[in-house]
Each structure stands twice: as structure tokens, then as C-alpha cells.
């Protein structure tokens, strides 16, 4: 009886292995059949660019303009996850806005910046009544201080992304600059969700939050925000810089992908710039003409630890 | 810009039926083997039942680590393809289907054995045939369980599939993505479709089973 059991077990295992082998064979055949004819590139992007719609426009226009016929698979993630995927080689291109995180991966030699292509700004938004008087703050640091003390007195709440996205990273930098730690406070709420959800949550509970201006205007124009208003802009601490990176992982080190990467760099620094002005005025500014200014602020932003 | 709901739906159905069907087949083999002895059942079924509770996000992460370019199966280049979702959902459905089936197989087997013994026979083949006849309704409902588990899961589809529009975007990832963009209205429509599909399939298959297969 024991031997028969052993036998059936062995048969089962062999059967399983054959099944797995057969399926992997079919899958690899399938892949080579369907994907090889065109170049497919996985692109990870911060959700803000995806939400504004600018990334789709740029990628499509790139294909039309250069006849490159590249298939871009777009993953919309927070900048933290987008950069991680890039460093892993799970994505070969990335569009992100988190300078201090970018620097970490740059220093490890896992990614390479091809272009800084656009910028806009972060703004502090909050309830119309503005219980923390953020309106009167001179700069972002002071605004955060006001929110902190109002929060401690139970007058205000702050909603944080809490997901290491570009916006979240900037928020944490400003808390550090203000020498305050909101971590664990009852008025400091972490959503771990995208910008839109975070804004809608802040709107629902009448709390303060930090947002990029693109996502804010997009939602505002769709009528999804009723209770919040713009309260604070700060060109020195709240500049938001979008960069285009490629992965240096071996998985992305192939001539097809690198060709597309350099072509796309060409494109995004020339024709792409016009397209950004033309279609996304107010939401996003092209860097052309301001390259040194933007690069300097990018460098300054990486140093805010 | 947003792809049509029907193509997302078809993709979802395709991916989750492949995943749940392969899990179903393997689950049958495992449960047949398990249900043959009480010792196996006692030892292995608690483990299976514990595996049912693994969050799908954990399975998604494991599949990501397996398939990412530096991972052991990275050279297949399967990350962010429908096959990655199928692989992950296979592991999502397998323990659920197996533990359900094994329990029922075992009960059926015990009942049939008693019956056959009381009739004065001990022919193993006879027992197997009888069991197979009793099993059809169990097989159907365990397939349904596997299917609804795969079509409704988000973790694997999001982490290993990525929710790429036009390629790996399934109903659940579409809901997650649209929610993260603030399009709650659109997201709830997809949600309603998801619920309708699962309900419809359960009803249709149950009816088919009751009125066509054994009457």
C-alpha cells in the first residue's frame, strides 16, 4: 500500500512538472510571437503627469512625429514606487518629481537622468475659513508651523499622502526644515493613496494638504473640490520639477530601448516643450529658457534632507 | 483616453478564467490524492485552510519578486503581462479550490465506501466510479469559487500586472486606478459590472448544473 502511494505521488509530481514545462514553453513562444515586431517599453510615471494627461499626449505625439512605432506600457504609481521599479529594471523609463529620492538612486548608479523637462509648483490648500491663518504665512515653512500649532490646539487637521510620492517627500522635507515632527499626532492623517483621493479626503473633512498644482486644478475644474482653497505658494521651497530617467539595469540595456530613450530625450527637449505650452498652460511649464534656474532648484531640492 | 469598459471586461474574464481553470485542474489532482487517506487530510488540510487567508497583495509581491528582471524567473520577461496576473491568480485560487474540494471529496469517499461495503463489495474501481458521479456538483461549485476569487482580486493584478491600459488593465485595477484619479463615478460603474458578472456566472452555472447535467 505504501509503495502504491509513493508511486501515485511520483506520478503526480511528474505530471505537475510536465504541465509547468508545457505552460512555460507556450508562454515564451507566445511572447516572442506577439511582442517582438515592435519595441515595447514599460514606463513608470508619477500619477500627477498621468492625471493631467500630458504623458499620454507626449508619448503618442512622439510616436506620430518620429514614426517610432514604440508601444509604451504606462504604470501610474507614486514617485517612490516608480523609482524603485526603474532601479529594478521592471520599468525602463520613468517620469518622476522627487529630487531627493532621485539623488539616492543616482548615487547608487542605478538610474540615469536624460532630461528635466517641465516644472510647476506645489501649493498648500486648506479650508476656506483657514483656522491656522496659513494665508498670512511668509513662506512654506512658516505655513507648516502655523498648521502644526493649530493642529496641536485642535483647530486644524493635515492630510498627508504618506506614500513617498514626490509630493509626500517634499512635505516631509518641509516638516524637517520647520523642525517639527507631525508623526503620530491625532490631527496628522496619512492616506497612503494618490493625490486625487487625498485631495478629496481633505475636502471632505476640511483639512489642509500639500498638492501639485496640476492635480489640484484638474480636480477643481471637474467640480470635485468644494471646500478647499489655495492658501500658500512659495517659489523657493515649493517648486515641483519633473524629470525623465532611464534605468541602468541590464534588463533595459538593449540597443532598441536606448535608441528610443535618446530619441525621446531629443523630442521632449524640443517639440515636446512646444506641446506642453500649447496644451497644458497653467498646469505645467516647459523648462526651455529656464534650464539653469530649474536645474539649480533641482540641486537645491536634493539637498533638503 | 479611458479604454472602453467592454474590452476591460473581456480581458478580465479571459485572464481569470485561464487562471481559475488551471488552478481548478491542479486542485482536482491534489484533492484526489489528499482525500485517499485520513492521515493526509488531517495533516495537510489545516495548512491549506491557512493558505486560503494569505492576502492577495502578498502573493502579488511574491510574483513580482519572482518575475522582476533580477528575480529567478526574470529571464522570461513576464512581469507586467497578462501571464503574470494568471500566474499570481493561479496561486490565489489554488488553496481555496483545493481545500473546498478535498473536504468534500473526502466526505463523499467515506459515504460511498460505507455504501459499497454494506453492499458487500470492496472493488476500488467501483468506488472511484461512484465517487466521480457524486462529485459533479462539487466540482462545479469549486470552480465557481476559484473563478470569483480570481476575478475579484486586486493585489496580484496591480503589483504583477501593473494595470497597463489596453494590456493588463482588468476590472479591479481599473477601479483602483480610476479611484486614485478621483473618478469615483466611473469606478463605481466598473464595480457594478464586476458584481453583475460574478452573480450572472454563478446563477447560470448553477442552473446549468441543476437542470442540464443531471436531469
How many Cβ atoms from other residues are within 10 Å of residue B116's Cβ? Answer: 17
Q: Are residues A127 and A214 in the same domain?
A: yes
Tell me whether residues A23 and B22 touch, CB distance under 8 A: yes
Q: What is the pLDDT confidence band of residue A37, given thresholds at 50, 70 and 90?
A: very low
pLDDT tens per residue, range A243-271: 999 999 999 998 999 999 999 999 999 99
H/E stretch holding B16: helix B5-34
Helix (H, G, I), strand (E, B) or coil at B167: coil
Closest CA of chain A from B196, distance in Å: 26
Q: Is the dihedral of CA B154, B155, B160, B165 positive or negative?
A: positive
Tell me whether residues B70 and A249 touch, CB distance under 8 A: yes
Residues of B in contact with A75 (CB under 8 A): 80, 162-164
Q: Residue A233's beta-bridge partner residues?
A: A123
Q: Are residues A131 and A75 in the same domain?
A: no
Residues of A in contact with B179 (CB under 8 A): 194, 197
Closest CA to A164 of A246, A85, A261, A54: A85
Q: Is the dihedral of CA B171, B173, B174, B180 positive or negative?
A: positive
Q: Nearest residue on chain A to B163, judged by CA atoms? A: A75
In a domain, A11, yes or no: no
Rounded Cα distance between A83 and A77, Å, is: 9
Q: Nearest residue on chain A to B180, judged by CA atoms? A: A194
On whether any CB of chain B is under 8 Å from the CB of A8, the answer is yes
For A149, A155, A212, B100, the CA distances from A133, given in Å and listed in that order, are 11, 11, 21, 60
Phi, psi of A225 (to 5 degrees): -115, 125
How many Cβ atoms from other residues are within 10 Å of residue B185's Cβ? Answer: 9
Average pLDDT over residues A226-233: 92
| pTM for the full predicted model | 0.80
On whether any CB of chain B is under 8 Å from the CB of A162, the answer is no
Residues of A in contact with B68 (CB under 8 A): 88-90
B interface mutation test: which of A11, A19, A39, A196 has the most B CBs within 10 A? A196
In a domain, A196, yes or no: yes
For A103, A115, A164, A169, A176, the CA distances from A304, given in Å and listed in that order, are 11, 21, 15, 10, 9
In a domain, A26, yes or no: no
User: Considering A217, A233, A249, which residue would you say is the last residue of a domain?
Assistant: A233
Tell me whether residues A75 and B167 touch, CB distance under 8 A: no
Q: Is the dihedral of CA A51, A54, A57, A63 positive or negative?
A: negative
Domains and CATH numbers, chain B: 5-210 (1.10.3720.10)
**Which are the contacts of A36, defined by CB distance < 8 A and separation ≥ 6?**
none
Q: Are residues A110 and A247 in the same domain?
A: yes
Q: What is the pLDDT of residue A26?
A: 61
Q: What is the pLDDT of residue A6?
A: 67
In a domain, A8, yes or no: no
Residue A1 has pLDDT above 60, yes or no: no
Q: Are residues A132 and A200 in the same domain?
A: yes
For chain B, state the CA radius of gyration. 20
Three-state SS sequence of B106-157: HHHHHHHHHHHHHCCCCCHHHHHHHHHHHHHHHHHHHHHHHHHHHHCCCHHH
Q: Are residues A253 and A106 in the same domain?
A: yes
pLDDT tens per residue, range A184-219: 899 999 888 889 989 998 998 899 999 999 999 999
Residues of A in contact with B182 (CB under 8 A): 51, 194, 196-197, 199-200, 219, 222, 224
Instruction: Identify which has the larger pLDDT, A214 or A23.
Output: A214
H/E stretch holding B75: none
In a domain, A44, yes or no: yes
Tell me whether residues A9 and B33 touch, CB distance under 8 A: yes
Rounded Cα distance between A96 and A91, Å, is: 13
On whether any CB of chain B is under 8 Å from the CB of A100, the answer is no
Closest CA to A206 of A229, A228, A222: A228
Q: Which three cell numbers stand for residue A159?
A: 492630510
Q: Which of B33, B68, B181 sits opposite A196 (nearest CB)?
A: B181
User: Considering A214, A233, A252, which residue would you say is the last residue of a domain?
Assistant: A233
Q: How many domains does chain A have?
A: 2
Rounded Cα distance between A78 and A160, Å, is: 13
Q: Are residues A58 and A206 in the same domain?
A: no
Q: Are residues A50 and A107 in the same domain?
A: yes
Q: Are residues A57 and A128 in the same domain?
A: no
pLDDT tens per residue, range A126-142: 999 999 999 999 999 99
Least confident of A170-174, A232-236, B86-90: A232-236
Q: Are residues A92 and A45 in the same domain?
A: yes
Angle between helices A2-35 and B82-118 (to 10 degrees): 150
Q: Nearest residue on chain A to B174, judged by CA atoms? A: A76
In this structure, what CATH number is given to the domain that contains residue A111? 3.40.190.10
Closest CA of chain B from A79, distance in Å: 14
Q: Are residues A220 and A185 in the same domain?
A: yes
User: Considering A201, A233, A265, which residue would you say is the last residue of a domain?
Assistant: A233
DSSP chain A: -HHHHHHHHHHHHHHHHHHHHHHHHHHHHHHHHHHTTSEEEEEEEEHHHHHHTHHHHHHHHHHHHHT--EEEEEEEE-HHHHHHHHHHTS-SEEEE--HHHHHHHHHTTSEEEEEEEEEEEEEEEEETT-TT-GGG-SSHHHHHHHHHHHHHTTS--EEE--S--HHHHHHHHHHHHTT---TT-TTEEE--S-HHHHHHHHHHHT-EEEEEHHHHHHHHHTT---SEEEEEE-TTT-EEEEEEEEE-SGGG-SHHHHHHHHHHHHHHHTHHHHHHHHHHTTT-EE-TT-HHHHHHHHHHHHH--
Q: Are residues A87 and A44 in the same domain?
A: yes
Residues of A in contact with B164 (CB under 8 A): 42, 73-75
In a domain, A1, yes or no: no
Q: What is the pLDDT of residue A32?
A: 46
Closest CA to B56 of B151, B187, B194, B196: B151
The answer to whether residues A75 and B165 touch, using CB atoms and an 8 Å cutoff, is: no
Q: Nearest residue on chain A to B177, judged by CA atoms? A: A76
| DSSP β-ladder status, A228-233 and A111-127 | antiparallel
Q: Are residues A51 and A180 in the same domain?
A: no
What is the residue range of A106's domain?
A: 35-120+241-303
In a domain, A22, yes or no: no
pLDDT tens per residue, range B117-155: 787 766 777 777 777 777 878 888 899 999 999 999 999
Residues of B in contact with A199 (CB under 8 A): 182
In a domain, A245, yes or no: yes
pLDDT tens per residue, range A53-102: 999 999 999 999 988 889 999 999 888 899 999 999 999 999 999 999 99
Low-confidence ranges of chain B (pLDDT < 50): 1, 215
Tell me whether residues A15 and B68 touch, CB distance under 8 A: no
Q: What is the pLDDT confidence band of residue A34, given thresholds at 50, 70 and 90?
A: very low
Tell me whether residues A194 and B64 touch, CB distance under 8 A: no
Amino acid at each position: 500500500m505504501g509503495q502504491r502511494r509513493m508511486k501515485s505521488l511520483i506520478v503526480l509530481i511528474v505530471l505537475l512538472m510536465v504541465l509547468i514545462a508545457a505552460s512555460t514553453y507556450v508562454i515564451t513562444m507566445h511572447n516572442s510571437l506577439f511582442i517582438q515586431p515592435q519595441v515595447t517599453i514599460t514606463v513608470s510615471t508619477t500619477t500627477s503627469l498621468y492625471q493631467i494627461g500630458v504623458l499620454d499626449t507626449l508619448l503618442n505625439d512622439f510616436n506620430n512625429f518620429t514614426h517610432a512605432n514604440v508601444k509604451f506600457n504606462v504604470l501610474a504609481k507614486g514617485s517612490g514606487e516608480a523609482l524603485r521599479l526603474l532601479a529594478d529594471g521592471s520599468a525602463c523609463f520613468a517620469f518622476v518629481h522627487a529630487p531627493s529620492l532621485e539623488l539616492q538612486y543616482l548615487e547608487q548608479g542605478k538610474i540615469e537622468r536624460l532630461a528635466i523637462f517641465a516644472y510647476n509648483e506645489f501649493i498648500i490648500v486648506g479650508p476656506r475659513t483657514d483656522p491656522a491663518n496659513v494665508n498670512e504665512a511668509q513662506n512654506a515653512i512658516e505655513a507648516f508651523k502655523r498648521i502644526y500649532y493649530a493642529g496641536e490646539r485642535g483647530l486644524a487637521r493635515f492630510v498627508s499622502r504618506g506614500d513617498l510620492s514626490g509630493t509626500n517627500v517634499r512635505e516631509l522635507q518641509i516638516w524637517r526644515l520647520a523642525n517639527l515632527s507631525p508623526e503620530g499626532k491625532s490631527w496628522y492623517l496619512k492616506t497612503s493613496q494618490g493625490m486625487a483621493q487625498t485631495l478629496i479626503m481633505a475636502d471632505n473633512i476640511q483639512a489642509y494638504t500639500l498638492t501639485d498644482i496640476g492635480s489640484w486644478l484638474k480636480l477643481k475644474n471637474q467640480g470635485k473640490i468644494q471646500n478647499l482653497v489655495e492658501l500658500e505658494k512659495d517659489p523657493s521651497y515649493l517648486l515641483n520639477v519633473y524629470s525623465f530617467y532611464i534605468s541602468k539595469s541590464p534588463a533595459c540595456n538593449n540597443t532598441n530601448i536606448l535608441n528610443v530613450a535618446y530619441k525621446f530625450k531629443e523630442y521632449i527637449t524640443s517639440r515636446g516643450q512646444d506641446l506642453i505650452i500649447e496644451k497644458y498652460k497653467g498646469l505645467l511649464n516647459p523648462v526651455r529658457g529656464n534650464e539653469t534656474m530649474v536645474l539649480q532648484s533641482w540641486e537645491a531640492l536634493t539637498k533638503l534632507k | 483616453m479611458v479604454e472602453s469598459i467592454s474590452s476591460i471586461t473581456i480581458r478580465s474574464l479571459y485572464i481569470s478564467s485561464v487562471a481559475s481553470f488551471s488552478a481548478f485542474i491542479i486542485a482536482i489532482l491534489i484533492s484526489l490524492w489528499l482525500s485517499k487517506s485520513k492521515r493526509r487530510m488531517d495533516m495537510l488540510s489545516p495548512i491549506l485552510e491557512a493558505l486560503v487567508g494569505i492576502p492577495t497583495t502578498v502573493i502579488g509581491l511574491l510574483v513580482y519578486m519572482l518575475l522582476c528582471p533580477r528575480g529567478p524567473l526574470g529571464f522570461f520577461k513576464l512581469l507586467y503581462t497578462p501571464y503574470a496576473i494568471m500566474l499570481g491568480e493561479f496561486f490565489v485560487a489554488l488553496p481555496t479550490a483545493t481545500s473546498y474540494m478535498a473536504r468534500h471529496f473526502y466526505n463523499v469517499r467515506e459515504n460511498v465506501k460505507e455504501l459499497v461495503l454494506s453492499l458487500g463489495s470492496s472493488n476500488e474501481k467501483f468506488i472511484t466510479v461512484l465517487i466521480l458521479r457524486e462529485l459533479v456538483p462539487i466540482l462545479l461549485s469549486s470552480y465557481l469559487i476559484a473563478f470569483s476569487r480570481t476575478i475579484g482580486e486586486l493585489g496580484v493584478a496591480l503589483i504583477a500586472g501593473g494595470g497597463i491600459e489596453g494590456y493588463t488593465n482588468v476590472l479591479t485595477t481599473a477601479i483602483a486606478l480610476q479611484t486614485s484619479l478621483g473618478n469615483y463615478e466611473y469606478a463605481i460603474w466598473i464595480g457594478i459590472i464586476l458584481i453583475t458578472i460574478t452573480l450572472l456566472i454563478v446563477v447560470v452555472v448553477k442552473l446549468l448544473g441543476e437542470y442540464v447535467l443531471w436531469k
